[in-house]
C-alpha cells in the first residue's frame, strides 16, 4: 500500500523526473472530473476515478479487465471479455478524452494523467520540468464556505433490515466531513429527510442549500460488501466522481475514510487549505455493527425505541468495555427519555453521568463525547461554564457538528445570553435547514425577545416540517398565553396528552375564570401520575395560572429535584414572571446556578 497522501507517488515514466505527490494527483483528478469535457460523461469519470484511486492506493494488481468490468461497469463475475469488450472500448474512449482535455481546457494544468495503450494503469508526471511553481498554485481560487450533503445510502442488500447499516455508513462519512474547517456539512436530520424519495437532485440541493451532494448504495451479503458512492454538483446535476468499492465487511472503516478523503480532495480545488483530520478506526466490527443498530433506534426517538437502544448498548458495553460510542449512546438514550418526560431526570441522572463521563474518558477527541458530557454538565448539573468549554471543544474538533451548535445555544439561552443563543441557533439551522426542532427553538428565542410575529413564522416552518412536533406545539401554547389568547391556548393544545400541555391548558382556563375546568385538568394530571411519570412542573404551570403561588413554588422545587429539563429556563421564561418578586424565586435560581438578573434584551 502507498504511504500517507503527502508522500510522493513514484509513477513518473521518466527516470530522474520528480515524483508527483498523491495530493497533487488527487487534486488533478478532481480538476479533470469537474471539467466541462468530463462532467457530461459519467461512465468515463467513474473509469478514470477508479483506476487513479487504485493506483495511488498501491492496488495496481486489481486493474485487470475482469475486475474493472465488475467494479466500474457493473458486470457480474461471469463476465467474458471475448463476448463483451466494454472495458477495451471505454479505455479507448478515455484515452481520446484525456488527449482532448490536455489539448484544450487542461493545457496549463501542472500534472498529466495518462493511460498508455494496452494498459489500465495510469501514469502521472509533472507537465513542467520544474514543478515547484505549479504546486504553489494548486486550487488557487478564492476560499468560500462550501456546503455538502451526504444523503442516506440506498440499501441494496438481500435483507431489508440492513437499513441500519446503510444509514450508519452515510452518517460516518458525514461525521468525518464535519471535522473539516471552513466546510458546511448538512446534518443527518435534514439529509435523511429525503430517504426513500425520488426527488431531482437539483431540488435536493436547493432545499438543503448544498453545493455538492453525495449519494450511494450499499449491498451487504454475508462478509462481502459492495459500496457505490458518487458526488454530484447540485446546481447542474452533473456527476463529478463515482467509485465502487468491493471489499470484505471488515474493510468498512477504510472505505468510509476513503470516501471522505476523496470528497475532501474534490473540494480542495475551491478551498486550497482544506484538510481532513485523521481519525482512528481501530474498532471491532462486531461492536460497530451493534452500535449502528442501537443508534438506528435512538434516531426514532420513541420511548420504546429509546428503551430498546439503551438495553442493547448496555449489552454492548459489557462485551466491549473500551468502546466509547456505547457509553455516549446510553447517556443520550437515557437523557432523551428524561427530556421527553417518560422518566424522571433524577432517576436516570446517575446512569447518564457515569456513561457520559466514561465515553469522554475513553475518547476525548470525539465531538460527540464532548457534546454529550457538555449536556450532562449543563442540563443535569448546572455547571454552565464547564458545559460551554465542552461544547466549544466539540466544535473545535468538528466545526460543522450541528448538535453542538444547538446545545450550546440553548445552554446560553438559559443564562439569558439571547444574542449568542440566536447566533448559535442560526448556525445550527444553516447546517440543519430541515430540522423541525431547530425551527421551534428559534421561534422560542423570538418569543422570549417579545418578537411574536417572528416566533409565529418559525413555528409555522416547524409544523411544515413535522406537523405533530410536540415541542413546537408547546411553544405555540406559551406564545398564545403571553398574548392573553387563552382560548387559543386551549385550542392549540386540546388534543395533547403531554403533562406540561395539560398544565398550560389548566392555567389558560384559570385565567379565563373557568376554575372548574382548571381543576379538571389537575385531576387529569393526577390520574396520569397513577400509571406513568408526570413532572411536578405540570401542576406548577396550573398553579401559576390559578394564582396559587405557594403550590407553584412547591411544585417548581420538586421539578428541579426531578431534573425536569424545562426548569433550566425559569430565569428567562415569561410564564414564571409573576413569581419573580417572591424571594423564593431567587433560591430556585441559585439551585440552578443561574443569574438572578439575566441580561434579557427584548426587541421594541
What are the cell numbers at 211?
Answer: 453545493
pLDDT at 139 over 60: no
What are the cell numbers at 87?
Answer: 472495458
Residues 140-165: pLDDT tens digits? 233 357 899 999 999 988 777 788 98
pLDDT band at 402 (very low <50, low <70, confident <90, very high): very high
Ranges of each domain in the chain: 8-135, 146-267, 283-399
| Cα 506 from Cα 514, distance rounded (Å) | 9
Query: What does pTM read for this prediction?
Result: 0.79
Helix (H) and strand (E) counts in the chain: 27, 10
Of 596, 598, 526, 595, nearest in space to 555 by CA: 526
Residues 330-380: pLDDT tens digits? 999 999 999 999 999 999 999 999 999 999 999 999 999 999 999 999 999
| Cα 276 from Cα 256, distance rounded (Å) | 13
| Cα 120 from Cα 550, distance rounded (Å) | 82
CB atoms within 10 A of CB 581: 8
Write down the pLDDT at residue 278: 63
Write down the pLDDT at residue 570: 97
pLDDT, average across residues 423-434: 95
pLDDT at 296 over 90: yes
Q: Identify which of 3-17, 131-145, 446-460 has the greatest average pLDDT.
A: 446-460
Residue 18 DSSP label: P
Report whether 414 contacts 385 (CB < 8 A). no
Architecture of domain 146-267: 3-Layer(aba) Sandwich (3.40)
CATH top-level class of 283-399? mainly alpha
pLDDT at 477 over 70: yes
What are the cell numbers at 383?
Answer: 455547571
Amino acid at each position: 500500500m502507498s504511504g500517507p497522501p503527502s508522500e510522493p507517488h513514484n509513477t513518473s515514466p521518466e527516470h530522474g523526473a520528480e515524483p508527483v505527490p498523491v495530493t497533487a494527483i488527487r487534486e488533478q483528478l478532481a480538476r479533470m472530473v469537474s471539467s466541462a469535457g468530463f462532467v457530461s460523461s459519467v461512465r468515463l469519470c467513474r473509469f478514470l476515478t477508479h483506476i487513479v484511486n487504485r493506483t495511488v492506493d498501491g492496488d495496481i494488481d486489481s486493474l485487470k479487465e475482469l475486475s474493472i468490468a465488475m467494479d466500474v461497469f457493473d458486470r457480474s463475475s461471469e463476465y467474458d471479455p471475448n463476448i463483451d469488450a466494454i472495458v477495451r472500448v471505454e479505455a479507448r474512449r478515455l484515452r481520446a478524452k484525456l488527449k482532448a482535455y490536455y489539448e484544450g481546457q487542461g493545457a496549463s494544468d501542472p500534472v498529466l494523467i495518462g493511460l498508455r495503450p494496452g494498459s489500465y494503469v495510469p501514469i502521472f508526471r509533472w507537465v513542467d520540468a520544474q514543478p515547484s511553481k505549479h504546486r504553489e498554485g494548486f486550487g488557487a481560487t478564492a476560499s468560500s464556505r462550501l456546503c455538502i450533503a451526504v444523503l442516506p445510502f440506498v440499501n441494496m442488500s438481500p435483507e431489508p433490515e440492513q437499513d441500519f447499516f446503510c444509514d450508519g455508513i452515510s452518517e460516518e462519512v458525514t461525521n468525518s466531513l464535519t471535522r473539516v474547517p471552513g466546510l458546511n456539512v448538512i446534518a443527518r436530520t435534514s439529509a435523511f429527510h429525503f430517504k426513500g424519495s425520488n426527488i431531482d437532485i437539483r431540488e435536493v440541493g436547493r432545499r438543503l442549500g448544498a453545493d455538492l451532494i453525495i449519494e450511494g448504495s450499499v449491498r451487504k451479503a454475508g462478509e462481502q460488501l459492495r459500496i457505490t458512492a458518487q458526488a454530484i454538483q447540485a446546481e447542474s446535476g452533473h456527476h463529478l466522481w463515482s467509485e465502487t468499492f468491493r471489499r470484505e465487511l471488515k474493510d468498512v472503516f477504510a472505505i468510509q475514510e476513503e470516501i471522505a478523503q476523496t470528497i475532501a480532495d474534490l473540494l480542495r480545488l475551491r478551498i486550497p487549505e482544506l484538510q481532513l483530520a485523521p481519525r482512528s478506526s481501530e474498532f471491532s466490527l462486531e461492536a460497530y455493527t451493534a452500535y449502528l443498530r442501537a443508534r438506528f433506534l435512538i434516531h426514532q426517538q420513541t420511548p420504546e425505541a429509546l428503551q430498546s437502544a439503551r438495553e442493547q448498548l448496555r449489552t454492548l458495553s459489557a462485551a466491549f468495555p473500551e468502546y466509547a460510542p456505547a457509553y455516549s449512546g446510553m447517556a443520550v438514550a437515557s437523557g432523551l427519555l428524561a427530556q421527553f418526560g417518560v422518566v424522571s431526570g433524577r432517576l436516570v441522572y446517575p446512569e447518564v453521568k457515569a456513561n457520559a463521563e466514561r465515553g469522554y474518558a475513553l475518547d476525548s477527541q470525539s465531538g460527540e463525547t464532548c457534546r454529550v458530557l457538555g449536556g450532562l454538565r449543563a442540563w443535569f448539573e448546572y455547571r454552565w461554564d464547564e458545559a460551554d468549554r465542552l461544547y466549544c471543544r466539540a466544535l473545535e474538533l468538528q466545526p460543522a457538528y450541528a448538535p453542538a451548535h444547538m446545545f450550546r445555544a440553548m445552554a446560553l439561552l438559559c443564562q439569558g445570553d439571547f444574542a449568542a443563543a440566536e447566533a448559535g441557533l442560526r448556525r445550527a439551522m444553516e447546517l440543519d435547514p430541515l430540522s423541525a426542532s431547530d425551527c421551534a427553538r428559534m421561534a422560542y428565542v423570538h418569543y422570549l425577545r417579545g418578537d411574536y410575529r417572528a416566533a409565529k413564522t418559525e413555528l409555522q416552518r416547524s409544523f411544515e416540517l413535522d406537523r405533530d412536533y410536540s415541542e413546537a406545539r408547546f411553544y405555540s401554547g406559551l406564545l398564545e398565553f403571553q398574548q392573553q389568547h387563552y382560548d387559543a391556548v386551549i385550542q392549540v393544545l386540546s388534543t395533547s396528552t403531554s403533562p406540561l400541555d395539560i398544565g398550560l391548558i389548566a392555567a389558560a382556563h384559570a385565567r379565563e375564570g373557568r376554575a372548574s375546568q382548571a381543576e379538571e385538568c389537575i385531576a387529569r394530571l393526577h390520574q396520569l401520575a397513577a400509571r406513568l411519570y408526570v413532572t411536578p412542573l405540570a401542576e406548577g404551570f396550573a398553579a401559576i395560572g390559578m394564582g396559587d403561588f405557594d403550590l407553584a413554588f412547591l411544585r417548581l422545587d420538586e421539578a428541579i429535584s426531578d431534573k425536569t429539563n424545562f426548569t433550566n429556563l425559569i430565569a428567562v421564561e415569561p410564564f414564571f414572571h409573576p413569581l419573580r418578586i417572591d424571594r423564593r424565586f431567587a433560591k430556585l435560581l441559585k439551585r440552578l446556578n443561574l443569574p438572578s438578573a439575566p441580561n434579557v434584551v427584548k426587541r421594541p
